[in-house]
Amino acid sequence: MADSSSSPPNDLPVAVRDLAIRLGAEPQGRGAIVRLTQTGRMKRALGSDSWMSFSARQTIASGTCGFAWRARFGPIGMISVCDALDDGVARLDVAALGFIPIARTPRTSALVRGELMRYLAELAWSPDAILSNPSLRWRIDGPDRLVVGAGIGASAVEVVLTLDIEGRIVEAFAPDRPRSPTEPILPTPWRGYFTDYRFHRGRWLPFAGEVGWEIAGREEIYWQGRILDWRIGQP
């Protein structure tokens, strides 16, 4: 008898199951966690020409919509940022020296929507979640586009994933990601790009990415990063 835990779920659209198989995804228990390290740079503010370098560690849940991105900016990592989503609760906090609060973003439904969009957009870095996360909703939007959604009520969101000629995720797009967690929330087109795919630990993963907002018809890239290490396992 076949082990059903090692087979893709039958209720997924065929194109979604095919994507997961191409990327090397395996069904994981709800507790499986991706752990990755990154380095990169981020703009100090939209419209600015000034960038800040960062190093970061991130965890991404495979069975639920959750992640935690912990980054350090500035000389000797003096500024720390925690950007996270856990059990429907979102947070975005900034601190100096790791413990002196600088900013704490209000916990609003707009913040939850933004963090859910980030989780969905980063499925390229957590391909096992395609098979393992029952909270994801999928539909097909053409030969090279899949739409994935999550959340309920005011927190429901969708992200469009575009595939390249080899069937790998190269772009994630949301037409209405909130730029602010409080009024006015400024729903704005938001797009991420994935490049430098490598076969690593049994998965096809993009080792580089960048993210931008589209404001007044002009796209502005504000985040660029590279993966240094990636692994998946139980907590």
pLDDT in tens, 144-182: 999 999 999 989 999 999 999 999 999 999 999 999 988
pLDDT of residue 101: 74
pTM over 0.85: yes
Residue 91, domain member (yes or no): yes
pLDDT of residue 125: 98
Residue 128, domain member (yes or no): yes
Residue 38, domain member (yes or no): yes
Residue 232, domain member (yes or no): no
Distance (Å, whole) CA 8 – CA 170: 22
Counted domains in the chain: 1
Residue 8, domain member (yes or no): no
Residue 1, domain member (yes or no): no
pLDDT of residue 94: 94
Q: What residues contact 205, with CB distance under 8 A and at least 6 apart?
A: 23, 124, 125, 127, 197, 198, 227, 230
Q: What residues contact 165, with CB distance under 8 A and at least 6 apart?
A: none
Residue 5, domain member (yes or no): no
Query: For residues 235 and 150, which has the higher predicted lDDT (pLDDT)?
Result: 150
pLDDT of residue 49: 94
Contact, 111 vs 117, CB < 8 A? no
- Residue 48: domain span: 13-227
- Tell me: the pLDDT tens digits for 77-117? 789 999 999 999 999 999 997 777 788 888 899 999 999 99
Find the radius of gyration of the CA atoms of the chain: 17
- Tell me: the pLDDT tens digits for 1-60? 333 344 556 689 999 999 999 999 987 666 789 999 999 999 999 999 999 999 999 999
The CATH number assigned to the domain holding 184 equals 2.50.20
Residue 235, domain member (yes or no): no
Contact, 51 vs 119, CB < 8 A? no
Q: How far is CA 203 from CA 51, 98, 126, 127, in A?
A: 31, 33, 9, 8
